[in-house]
């Protein structure tokens, strides 16, 4: 079975991205025909720095490789290197109802966040996402909970195309992460670069501690002697992902009887996050010194994906009467 998923080159990839997507990608690449994409066309739907984009795309690729994406097991490439993505998006746009796009909650949310740049690309985003997936006839798509609505639209588009033109695309199913969504350090919203409530996978030792030290914990626990409820503490939720089971069990017990303070709890998490982040930082530096290796991986990935994509486009255009022999 084929898996497709993409990640935006946002400049900063944080532990929320890792838990929600990358960790799952690394796990499934052993068992599926895996295609992973750096979706740069999606990233330009909001304002960005033109000069920094090449470095941002490269860093995203380097981080994915550092986290364990193996080019011998999975295809890794840049979206804009395969022109069929936008070609199929235009075609699928003619099978997508305007009303369906107006109901997309992410468009509404991003329109509020980027009120000075509500462009048609932001509105058309879900169709391009559908093209990304259907171009490779993916069976499964690892997504976060916020992308489930887009995947439902992808299935609707595939269903409509198949009913009018003829059976062409499978209806892809979502694969949600087994780990609950990690909230940002404010404990309220999802971890996000724009909200500055994140821990980067490349965080320095000092910045990591500074961020953890100021992170929100259980509001009911004002003094160290106050018993806490770990289930209401976002720091404890992060422990569940990055700490050992015996540490998690100990914190769960001791916090409830005020046997451990919030600062001590954060120090344990700091050490565990540091042990997790440090090897990734080192590997990213390795890839920065081996840029040609990364470029070759992306080039080979794009070449492999173009072969698949061109066949899909040829089939689609032929069925639509757009291909003359």
Read out DSSP for 141-160?
EEE-GGGHHHHHHHHHHHHH
Report how far residue 257's alpha carbon sits from residue 145's, in angstroms, rounded to the nearest whole number.
34
Exposed, middle or buried: residue 65 (CB in 10 Å: 0-12, 13-18, 19+)?
buried
Q: What is the DSSP letter of 190?
A: B
Residue pair 130/123 in contact (Cβ under 8 Å)? The answer is no
Residue pair 84/310 in contact (Cβ under 8 Å)? The answer is yes
Report how far residue 150's alpha carbon sits from residue 231's, in angstroms, rounded to the nearest whole number.
31
Annotated active-site residue in 73, 137, 190, 232: 190
By C-alpha distance, which of 147, 167, 184, 123 is closest to 21? 147
Annotated active-site residue in 23, 110, 211, 266: 110
**φ, ψ (nearest 5 deg) of residue 183:** -80, 165
Helix (H, G, I), strand (E, B) or coil at 70: coil
Q: What is the DSSP letter of 14?
A: B
Angle between helices 245-256 and 234-242 (to 10 degrees): 160
Helix (H, G, I), strand (E, B) or coil at 35: strand
Annotated active-site residue in 27, 73, 181, 193: 193
H or E stretch at 5: strand 2-7
Active site residue 193: yes
Active site residue 27: no
H or E stretch at 34: strand 33-38
Six token digits for residue 325: 């022999």
Tokens 């395969």: give the residue. 82
Residue pair 34/25 in contact (Cβ under 8 Å)? The answer is yes
> Which amino acids are annotated catalytic?
110, 190, 193
């Amino acid at each position: 079975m084929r898996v497709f998923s993409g990640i935006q080159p946002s400049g900063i990839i944080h532990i929320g991205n890792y838990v929600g997507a990358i960790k799952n990608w690394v796990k499934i690449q052993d068992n599926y025909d895996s295609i992973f994409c750096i979706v740069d066309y999606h990233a330009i739907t909001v304002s960005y720095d033109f000069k920094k984009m090449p470095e941002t795309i490269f860093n995203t690729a380097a981080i994915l490789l550092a986290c364990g994406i193996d080019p011998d097991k999975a295809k890794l490439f840049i979206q804009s290197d395969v022109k069929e993505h936008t070609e199929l998006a235009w075609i699928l746009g003619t099978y997508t109802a305007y009303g369906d796009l107006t109901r997309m909650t992410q468009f509404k949310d991003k329109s509020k966040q980027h009120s000075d740049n509500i462009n048609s690309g932001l509105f058309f985003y879900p169709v391009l996402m559908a093209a990304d997936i259907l171009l490779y006839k993916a069976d499964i798509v690892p997504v976060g909970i916020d992308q489930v609505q887009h995947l439902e639209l992808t299935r609707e588009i595939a269903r409509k195309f198949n009913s009018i033109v003829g059976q062409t695309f499978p209806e892809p199913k979502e694969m949600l992460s087994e780990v609950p969504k990690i909230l940002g350090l404010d404990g309220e919203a999802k971890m996000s670069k724009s909200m500055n409530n994140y821990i980067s996978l490349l965080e320095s030792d000092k910045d990591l501690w500074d961020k953890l030290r100021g992170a929100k914990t259980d509001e009911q626990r004002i003094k160290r002697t106050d018993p806490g409820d770990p289930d209401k503490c976002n720091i404890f939720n992060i422990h569940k992902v990055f700490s050992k089971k015996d540490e998690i069990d100990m914190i769960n017990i001791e916090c409830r009887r005020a046997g451990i303070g919030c600062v001590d709890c954060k120090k344990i998490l700091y050490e565990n996050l540091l042990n997790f982040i440090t090897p990734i930082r080192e590997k990213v530096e390795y890839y920065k010194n081996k840029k040609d290796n990364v470029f070759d991986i992306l080039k080979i990935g794009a070449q492999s994906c173009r072969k698949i994509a061109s066949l899909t486009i040829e089939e689609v255009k032929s069925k639509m009467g757009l291909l003359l022999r």
